[in-house]
Structure 1
Amino acid sequence: MEIEVLKEFKPKVVFSLEVEGFEIKIANSLEDLKLALELRHMVFLEEGLGRTHETGLDFDSFDQVADHLMIINLATGKAVGTYRLICSKFASHFYSQNEFVLDHFLQEEGVKLELGRACTHIDYRTGRTIDLLWQGLSRYITETGTRFLFGCSSMHTEDPAEAFSALKSLEARDGVSFEYQIHPTPDFQFPEAKTFHEKAIANPQILRSLPPLLRSYLHAGSKVHGYPAWDRDFECTDMFTILDLRVLNSKFAERYNPKWA
Structure 2
Amino acid sequence: MSTTADLVAAVKKELKAAQMTYADLARELGMAESSVKRMLAKGDMPLSRVDAICRALKLDFAELAQRVADAQPLLKELTAEQERSVVADDKLLLVAINVVSQWTAEQICTRYRLSEAEVVKYLAQLDRLGIIELKPLNRYRLKVAKTFRWRPHGPVMQYFRESVMLDYFGGGFDGDGENLQLVHGSISRALAPAFAERLQRVAQDFAQQHQTDQKLKDTDREGYTLVLAMRRWELAAFTRLRR
TM-score by length of 1: 0.24
> Based on CA coordinates, which of the two structures has the bigger radius of gyration?
2
More strand by share: 1
TM-score by length of 2: 0.26
More helix by share: 2
If asked which structure has higher relative contact order (CA below 8 Å, sep 6+), I would say 1
